[in-house]
Amino acid sequence: MPKTQQTFKNDKSAPIYVSIEPWPECFELEPGDTLTLIWDAPDVGDAAEVNFTNERELQVCPNGDISDIVILFNGGSSEGRSWKFKHYL
């Protein structure tokens, strides 16, 4: 599978929240912050599905092999930048 990359940037004046599914993790992006995902996407079809929960929350569901997904926050490590959902099923 080829690698694909998708970057989300917060151009709003308030924080936005991005959850990466199927993990119970969410990232808060302050104005100007970026979140970049790099993973093995399928050769055909959508690389990811993005669902807007409301004007400040979205869910990203990458398709393909996400076992080695790389998540970058503002171009660097995302370690310690996410939080887990309290009521994950």
Number of other residues whose CB lies within 10 A of the CB of residue 29: 21
For residue 79, what pLDDT is reported? 87
For residue 2, what pLDDT is reported? 79
Query: Amino acid identity, residue 42?
Result: P
pLDDT-derived band of residue 85, with 50, 70 and 90 as boundaries? low
- Which residue bears the tokens 């400040």? 56
For residue 8 the two structure tokens come to 């989300």
DSSP for residue 13: S
SS3 37: strand
For residue 1, what pLDDT is reported? 66
Each residue of 3-60: pLDDT tens digit? 999 999 999 999 999 999 887 679 999 999 999 999 999 889 999 999 999 999 999 9
pTM: 0.87
